[in-house]
Amino acid sequence: MGPKPILVLKKFDDISIFLNQNSERNLTKISKHWAGEAILNNKHVEWKKSRKLINPAFSSQMIEKYFDVFNKRSFALVDKLKLYADTGKEVDIHKYLLNSNIEGLIENLTGAPIRTSEKEVDDFGVALKDVLHGVARGITSPWLYSDTIYSVYLKLTGNMKLIKELNYLPAKIVRENLKDANEKYRSETADSSKCLIDLMVKAQQKDSTFTETRLEHEFLQLMSAGTDASALNASFTLLMLAIHQDVQQKVYEEITQLVGEHDAFTSDHLSNHLKYLEQCIRETLRMYDPVAVTIRESQKEHVLKDNTIIPAGMYILIMIHLANNDSAMYENPHKWNPENFSEQAIAGRPKRSQLSFSVGPRSCPASNYAILSIKLQIAQIIRHYHVSTCIKELKPDDLKMEIGIRSKLGYPIRLTLRKKTRT
C-alpha cells in the first residue's frame, strides 16, 4: 500500500549495482520534515553542492587535527564513568557515548571550544532517539510515503514539537559560530584546511543558495547521522567485548602493547595499528548495523545482475542488515566473530562488501572519522576498565529494528578499574 510501487533489495550484488549506478536521493518526503533538505536527502544538483561543502571537513588532513578533541573527550568520558567503577552496578553505556560524540563533533566542526550546556546535549540526544523512531515508522509504513498524509500524521501525533526540539541545538550552534567565523573570514582566506564552519562562510560568499537555514539543516543532518550511529556501534561493541571475555583480553593486550597508561592516541595508532579492535568494530557493524534499512527513489531505469529491470519512479527499500548477514558472504552469519574481518577473510569477499557506510556516490563522507572515533572511545575505555555484563547472549528477540538495530535490553556494562589505573 502506497503511492508508488516498492521493490525490496536484500542481496549485496543487487544493492551494490543500484547504489553505484547513480546518486539517487533518500526519500525526501520523509526526512525533510524532520531535518530539512541537505546532504542526506537533497536532489542531485544541490546534493553535489552539499557534498563539496562537507567533504573537506572529513579529509585525512582535517581528521589529523581532530585528535586533540578525540583524546580530550575520551579522557573526559573515562572520568565520568568512574562514578560506576568497582560498584558492582551496571550502567547503560549508550547515553555516555552519545553525549561524548555530540560534544566532540561540535568542537571539531566549529573549531572552537564547546559553548553548549550539558542539558542541551542531553535534550538533543533524547530528541534524536525519538526522531529516529519516527523516521523509521515513516520508512516502514508505505501509506505514509505521501507528503500530504505524512504531514498530517506528524501533526496528529504531536511530533511537530519534537522536530523543534531536535532543530534547536544545531541551529543555535550554526548561528553563533557563523557570526564569529564571518568576522574571521574578513581577515583571513578560508580554504579546505579550515573547519566546517569556515567552509560554510566561504560557501555563503560564493553561492546564495547556502542560506543560514540550509546550513543549519546541513549541520543538523551531520549531527543526527553521525553521533547516534557511532554511539550505537560503540555500545554494541563494548557489550560484545563484555560477553566475549577472551576477545576483550586480546583487545586489551593489543592496546597496552601500543600505548602507555596515560598516553594520548595518535592517528598512526588508530589508522595503522589496533587492527584486531577494528575487526571487532566492523563485525559489530555487520551484525548490529546502525543503519539497517534505507529507502531510495529510483530516478532512472536500472538493470540488476539477473536482468531484473527497476523502472524509474519506483521506491527501493534497501535491507542493508540482511545483505550484511548473507550466508553467501559470511560463514555462520548470525554468530559474532571478529575473524570475519581478518585480512584473509576480507580478501575472499568482493571489494566493499560491507554496506554499513553505503557504497556509491552517496556513501558516508565521514566513514573514516566514524571508525577512528569509535576505535579511540573503545580503546580508552578498555585500557582503563575491565567490562562485564549480566547478558550472556544477545538473541534475536532481544533486538529491534528501527533505522538501525537496537537492543531492547539496553547496553548494560559493569566497570572494574584495571589494577594499574587505580588511584
The annotation places the binding site for heme at 364
What dihedral do alpha carbons 66, 70, 76, 80 form, nearest 10°?
Answer: 140
What Rg do the C-alpha atoms of the chain give, in angstroms? Answer: 21
Q: Rounded to the nearest 5 degrees, what angle is found at the Cα of 390, between the Cα atoms of 384 and 396?
A: 115
3-class secondary structure per residue, the chain: CCCCCEEEECCHHHHHHHHHHCCCCECHHHHHHHHCCCCCCCCHHHHHHHHHHHHHHHCHHHHHHCHHHHHHHHHHHHHHHHHHCCCCCEEECHHHHHHHHHHHHHHHHHCCCCCCCHHHHHHHHHHHHHHHHHHHHHHCCHHHCCHHHHHHHHHHCCHHHHHHHHHHHHHHHHHHHHHHHHHHHHHCCCCCCCCHHHHHHHHHHHCCCCCHHHHHHHHHHHHHHHHHHHHHHHHHHHHHHHHCHHHHHHHHHHHHCCCCCCCCCCHHHHHHCCHHHHHHHHHHHHHCCCCCEEEEECCCCEECCCCCEECCCCEEEEEHHHHHCCCCCCCCCCCCCHHHHCHHHHHCCCCCCCCCCCCCCCCCCCHHHHHHHHHHHHHHHHHHEEEECCCCCCCHHHEEECCCEEECCCCEEEEEECHHHCC
The annotation places the binding site at 364
